[in-house]
Structure 1
Amino acid sequence: MTWIQNVTKVSACSAAALTVFVASAVAEITPEASEFLSAGGIDTAIIDQASAASDTDLNIPLDWIDKAAAEGPIDFSTNDTPEHVAAWLPVFQARYPEIDIVATETSGAARAVQPLLAYKSGSLVRHVLVSFEGSLPDFIEADALAELDDLPAWSGVPEDRRAADGTYAGMQNTTWCLAYNKDRVTAEELPATWDALFAEGHPLGGGRVGAANRAQLWTLNLWTHADYGPEKMTDEILPNFFDNLKPQLRKEGISGIANLMLVGEFDVALPAPNDETEELMETGAPVGYHCPEPVPQYFNLIGMFRDSPTHYSSKVFINWILSQEGQLVRYVAGGDGPVHKDLQIGGASALGDAFAGKDIALRTIEGLTVGLPALYDVWNPLWANSGGPER
């Protein structure tokens, strides 16, 4: 029986049979994705896992594809660089050639605030949004986000990284730990926990750690963690950080402290993201990465506007991003850490072996909206009173 005969036969069958056909059509990873991941260093076993998951993750209803083909291009507001987009977009379109995407690189207000203001005034300037955590309460108040919980890949997003009402999901993780100069720090000096690092007399004390003024990237995670919490952070952990560890308090940002660590200004950079640290290590620099427990981690969001003219195209696109195939492709393309529950393993994210299987201190949406102001009330005076420079 020819392929055309197969399609004709299926078209005469029930909706249930149609679903089976669609599932069989996506039962494995595309050759383009497999080749891209293999060339990017992803282990064959992980590629096989993503391929097997395609039967579930990418089981898109056929009518979504038909409707998507009739829609215009998706305007995707992203913080991806053009080089990043140029790497992953062809792999997406190898699976979905009927869907066009215009990826607009934006930052800050242009990525979230301005599109929301336009939506509230009756104009839609973006369809799909990412990294809008800071404006999430405003999106919720405006009821601006479409439900996504009917996506086949929705179940792969951990419950603590997706909306209970289905209106947004985490799309990528970033992990914040310690980057250190391997020529100056021994394995025995690396702390198992944050408590241990801040204990009196720790060998990395006395200025060997260079700290950026970025409490929201790691201390907030401890602030909301069950084993730490606001009271312990206020009375013990944060005072010990400043008074016992005595880090160098720096005005530089994340990339700046990493570079200063390399040239010997100090031995350890805090905090350090896993993706940028891996890029630094790939240059051959003597850099190591270590994650005390609980491991600070946060996730960036993805969502789409209600009443979008690209409703079905956007859902297909977001579903691919949340699938194991899409998550791994974006990791290889630009270092984005997968949020998918089955990809929290070594080899599936930047420096994943440093934190896979460890206790995670997650920066939650509630932590950002409620916990962060309270944390700043404690952190900012301690930073200033310890001689920390303003940003």
Structure 2
Amino acid sequence: MVALLIAWPSAALGQSDWRTSTEVRNLYEAARAEGEVVIWGAQRRELAWIQEPFGKRFPGIEVKWTADRSAATKLITEYRAGRFAVDLFHFSLGGMLPVDRRRVLGANDWTIWGNGPEDALLDGKVGLTHNLVYAVVYNEDLVSAEDLPTTWAGYLEPRWQGKLVASQFLLPRLLGFLALEWGEAKAADYARALIDKQKTLITRAPREGILQRGERLVAVGEFVGSAMYWKSLGMPMHWAATELMPATQFGVATLVRAPHPHAAQLLAGWMTTDEAKITRERLMFSADVRPGSGSEIGALLSAKGGRIVFEDLGNMTDRAALYERLSAIVTGQVR
């Protein structure tokens, strides 16, 4: 038997019991016999970090991952075709819902990892892992933090005309959150003003390069963690808070026909632990910022004073409908 209690920096006193848990030890032994686990998600950054820390805690299990923003649709297609090659799905709540509606998500026992009812959604099928928080990102070599507005509406001031950039994918999703707070009409007017009045560059291209080259100074509707990650790569990036900071909710779920069911449950459970969350935050700058999480990024957000609005089951369906309609403005299909 390979020892479960491998030397590891102390990460989570509140969840320490799982390290000595008989249930986790037995699950690990069964998972190690399977030898590998396959996980699908949206982006490379959400998946590539997992193998090293997971492998240190649980040796002998290879993590195979695939990153694709269309992973939810492709997973549903695979199941319809009778192909069951994936063990776990790691996505935002919005991506989880259609997969769950087709009864692809499996059950998992999150309690053996120290989690409570508040740490799982969709009847306990999805364990919560982290949030991505919307803010603005700017080139700190070209813009002073003191000059930045503290509200979304502030970026409609004349001095920002021709200086803004936004992702064609992310901006509608931000607008969906804003529409929940402001109403759809006001959010639609805001979108039109950004595009028509402010001449915001709407692009599918990576915004960090555009900011770094000084082609635009501020990216509207980027993630706090993206700014931190880009800065860690040596780019002159920083983020700024606004009065309202939407937070998407990410989670992980095992699948009902997982080819490696024990490894799937082991990896999914570990990803919800404080050990995994601290490692993710340190390496990828993505954190659980829910109240009481204790994350450093969560503390930074609280210090900035912006109100965080969390994605949850109560607002997800409405927000999805809103960003679908508002997306037509961003892409120029309607004015």
**What TM bracket, shorter-length normalisation?**
0.7 to 0.9
Q: Is the 8 A contact 2:94 2:320 kept in 1?
A: no
Give the Cα–Cα distance (whole angstroms) in 2 for the partners of residues 344 and 74 of structure 1: 29
Of 25, 36, 42 in structure 2, the residue corresponding to residue 73 of structure 1 is 36
- Unaligned regions of 5+ residues in structure 1, if any? 1-21, 35-47
Q: Is the 8 A contact 2:129 2:251 kept in 1?
A: yes
- 1:10 alignment counterpart: none
Q: Which has the larger radius of gyration?
A: 1
Give the Cα–Cα distance (whole angstroms) in 1 for the partners of residues 215 and 117 of structure 2: 40
Residue 288 of structure 1 aligns to a residue whose secondary structure is: strand
Give the Cα–Cα distance (whole angstroms) in 2 for the partners of residues 79 and 376 of structure 1: 19
Give the Cα–Cα distance (whole angstroms) in 2 for the partners of residues 382 and 75 of structure 1: 35
Residue 292 of structure 1 aligns to a residue whose secondary structure is: coil
Aligned pair 1:215/2:163, yes or no? no
Higher RCO (C-alpha 8 Å, min separation 6): 2
Give the Cα–Cα distance (whole angstroms) in 1 for the partners of residues 143 and 91 of structure 2: 35
Aligned pair 1:171/2:129, yes or no? yes
Aligned pair 1:280/2:230, yes or no? yes
Give the Cα–Cα distance (whole angstroms) in 1 for the partners of residues 333 and 261 of structure 2: 52
Equivalent residues, number: 328
Q: Is the 8 A contact 2:249 2:311 kept in 1?
A: yes
Aligned pair 1:363/2:318, yes or no? no
Q: CA deviation at 1:145?
A: 1.5
- TM-score (structure 1 length as normaliser): 0.69
- Unaligned regions of 5+ residues in structure 2, if any? none
Structure-to-structure mapping, 1:170-209, within 5 angstroms = 170-198=128-156, 202=157, 204-209=159-164
Q: CA deviation at 1:223?
A: 2.2
Q: Identity over aligned residues, as a percent?
A: 16
Deviations 1:71-100 (A, max 9, x none): 342222245649963x542322222225x1
Name the CA shift for 1:123/1:339 in 2 (closer, same or farther; >3 Å).
farther
Aligned pair 1:101/2:62, yes or no? yes
Amino acid at match of 2:308: I
Give the Cα–Cα distance (whole angstroms) in 2 for the partners of residues 244 and 314 of structure 1: 44
Of 172, 177, 201 in structure 2, the residue corresponding to residue 250 of structure 1 is 201
Give the Cα–Cα distance (whole angstroms) in 2 for the partners of residues 255 and 292 of structure 1: 22
Amino acid at match of 1:255: P
Deviations 1:203-238 (A, max 9, x none): 6443333333333332222223xxx24x3x41x344
Of 251, 258, 269 in structure 2, the residue corresponding to residue 319 of structure 1 is 269
Q: CA deviation at 1:105?
A: 2.1
- 1:301 alignment counterpart: 251
Deviations 1:128-150 (A, max 9, x none): 11127555344223322222254
Name the CA shift for 1:157/1:285 in 2 (closer, same or farther; >3 Å).
farther
Residue 210 of structure 2 aligns to a residue whose secondary structure is: helix
Aligned pair 1:125/2:79, yes or no? no
Q: Is the 8 A contact 1:58 1:320 kept in 2?
A: no
Amino acid at match of 2:16: D
Q: CA deviation at 1:166?
A: 0.5
Amino acid at match of 2:267: F
- 1:144 alignment counterpart: 104
Give the Cα–Cα distance (whole angstroms) in 2 for the partners of residues 132 and 244 of structure 1: 26
- 2:16 alignment counterpart: 55
Of 373, 386, 389 in structure 1, the residue corresponding to residue 321 of structure 2 is 373
Give the Cα–Cα distance (whole angstroms) in 1 for the partners of residues 131 and 144 of structure 2: 28
Name the CA shift for 1:65/1:212 in 2 (closer, same or farther; >3 Å).
closer
Structure 1 residues 236-245 or 181-190, which shifts more?
A: 236-245
Give the Cα–Cα distance (whole angstroms) in 1 for the partners of residues 172 and 315 of structure 2: 9
Amino acid at match of 1:318: A
Q: CA deviation at 1:184?
A: 3.8
Give the Cα–Cα distance (whole angstroms) in 2 for the partners of residues 88 and 211 of structure 1: 29
Residue 152 of structure 1 aligns to a residue whose secondary structure is: helix
Q: Is the 8 A contact 2:287 2:295 kept in 1?
A: no
- TM-score (structure 2 length as normaliser): 0.79
Amino acid at match of 2:73: V
Residue 115 of structure 2 aligns to a residue whose secondary structure is: helix
Amino acid at match of 2:54: F
CA RMSD in angstroms comes to 3.7
Give the Cα–Cα distance (whole angstroms) in 2 for the partners of residues 82 and 216 of structure 1: 22
Q: Which structure is higher in strand share?
A: 2
